[in-house]
Every structure is written in C-alpha cells, then in structure tokens.
Amino acid sequence: MAARIGAQAVGIAAETGSARIFEQLDRLDQALAPAVSEDGVAEFRGALDRIILQPA
C-alpha cells in the first residue's frame, strides 16, 4: 500500500519539483528498501530512480 501511494507521489514530485515531497519519498524509499521483493516496491523505487536520475 505504501509503495502504491509512493508511486503516485513520485508523479506529483516530478511535476512540481517539490523538495518537501522528494524528502518524504527518500524517507519512504529507505523504509521500503528491506521489502524490495514485495508487490509494488520495486516499481516505486524504479520510478523514483527515473525522476532523480533523469528529471523532467
């Protein structure tokens, strides 16, 4: 559930460039790191990596 909501927030962060959202997404990324095999976590982390490495 957290990964799914995080994935939605990634889109918002990409659109707005909000530092506050990026900070929260970083915290979520760290919290979800041990659960990378859970549904949605890898997708969330991949989406976050894409906007950090290749900002719009």
pLDDT tens digits, one per residue of 2-55: 999 999 999 999 999 999 999 999 999 999 999 989 889 999 999 999 988 765
Domain count, the chain: 1
Name the pTM for this structure.
0.84
Where b means 16+ CB within 10 Å and e means fewer, 12-44 reads: ebbeeeeeebbeebeebbeebeeeeeeebbeeb
In this prediction, residue 54 carries a pLDDT of 66
d(CA 17, CA 37): 28
Rg (CA), the chain: 10
Residue ranges making up the domain that contains 15? 2-53
In this prediction, residue 30 carries a pLDDT of 94
